[in-house]
Amino acid sequence: MSSTIKPWKIAFLIFLIIGTIYILKNNSVTYKSNSGKIFGTYYNIIYKHKNDLKQDIVNVLNSVDNSLSPFNKNSIITAINENRDIVPDSMFLRVFSMAQHISNETEGAFDITVAPLVNAWGFGFKKGIPADSATIDSLRSYVGYTTVAYENGKIVKNDPQTMLDCSAIAKGYACDEVARMLRNKGITDFMVEIGGEVVTEGKNEKGNKWAIGISTPEEVASHNDIQEIIHISGKSMATSGNYRNYRYEGERKVAHTIDPRTGYPVQHSLLSATVVADNCTTADALATAFMVMGIEEAIEYSNSHPEIDVYLIYSDSTGNFATCETEGMKRLHRNH
């Protein structure tokens, strides 16, 4: 009996080997990265999985946009702002509930009804009335988180002129939603970043905690603008600042952070607030609240809430950058 292998069998074996290598290569569990644009900013998501999940990520982000974006004419929040008869979806209700809770916790420093004031000062999603004291006093009559509520399946306003803006919480929530989707797929190592707001889990490709930079509050961005690097896993981080979003009225510099309690832009030395928390929705909202509250109030709040950590950058009496942080935050960038 001849032991010669027929040519067609050799060809078949080669085809089988090449096919197996191709399948293993394209279905191997490796770190993958997806990036793009959403909410007027950019996202970058890294995760360890066998498949590319770009479309799944986009689907989540579009769902958040359709619920919470005031720039989307067909979103839930736009319908509410226009006083249309609409039943809010589960996403909107989760964010609304968390926003109201944080508003109460911060005594109104965070407030999603601040939209008319933000618009009036020229930083919102609509062109506002020129801001003067009479205008601000008028707008404040229908601004305030206690003027809206969820009742009988609807968002109820005391005044139809009240408008909602979730811009200071929606990116954090979107990060949490993408993270939720990744966890549901069994992914244990990932980093979700949307416009500077971050959720982390597990380890990076080098087997370490995720290294996240805190920017130096320079008015012009540069490649060397990292103030500090923190190392986190299983935590979320968000930063809010005034140093790049402002405008001038004559010679007066007007910051984009509006204090809902006064109706006016904040006027203090705090330049940026970075918050580390268990979820990014909370971190995002608190970072904005702290920019309103200022250094002393922010530190007082964080000291009474050990589940969060804070890193504040401010301008000292000589005009130089100075920092203030919780003990927990110190451990995140010193012991990693």
Q: What is the pLDDT of residues 286-316, one digit of tens each?
A: 999 999 999 999 999 999 999 999 999 998 8
Rounded mean pLDDT, 249-258? 56
| Gap between the Cα atoms of 108 and 293, Å rounded | 10
Q: How far apart are CA 286 and CA 101, in angstroms?
A: 11
Average pLDDT over residues 184-209: 97
Helix (H, G, I), strand (E, B) or coil at 286: helix
pTM of the model: 0.85
34 or 132, higher pLDDT: 34
Determine the Cα–Cα distance for residues 276 and 331; give it in Å rounded to an integer. Answer: 12
Domain edges within the chain: 209-336
Q: Check if the beta carbon of residue 116 is closer than 8 Å to that of residue 128.
A: yes
Averaged pLDDT of the chain:
86
Of 212, 223, 219, 224, the C-alpha closest to 309 is 212
Spatial distance between the Cα atoms of 177 and 143, rounded to a whole number of angstroms: 28
Asked if residue 22 has pLDDT above 70, the reply is no
* Fold classification of 209-336 (topology level): T-fold (3.10.520)
How much is the pLDDT for 15?
Answer: 62
Least confident of 55-64, 118-127, 244-253: 244-253
pLDDT bin (cut points 50, 70, 90) of residue 247 is very low
Both structure tokens of 45: 């998501």
- pLDDT band (50, 70, 90) for residue 128: low
pLDDT for res 250: 45
Give me the residues paired with residue 322 across strands: 314
- The whole-number pLDDT of residue 254 equals 46
What does each C-alpha distance from 310 to 129, 238, 243, 297 come to in angstroms?
A: 35, 10, 18, 12
Q: Name the nearest CA neighbour of 150 among 195, 94, 208.
A: 94
CA-based nearest residue to 48, from 243, 185, 180: 185
Backbone angles phi, psi at 172, to 5 degrees: -60, -40
- E-strand ranges in 204-320 read 210-215, 226-232, 236-241, 246-249, 252-255, 270-277, 309-315
Helix 280-293 to helix 167-184 angle (10° resolution) is 160
Mode of pairing for the β-strands spanning 148-151 and 154-157: antiparallel
Mean pLDDT value of segment 11-22: 59
Q: Token match 């203030």: residue?
A: 324
Residue 222 has a CB neighbour count (10 Å cut-off) of: 9
> Torsion angle of alpha carbons 31, 37, 42, 45, nearest 10°?
-20
Share of the chain above pLDDT 70, in %: 82
**pLDDT value at position 41?**
92
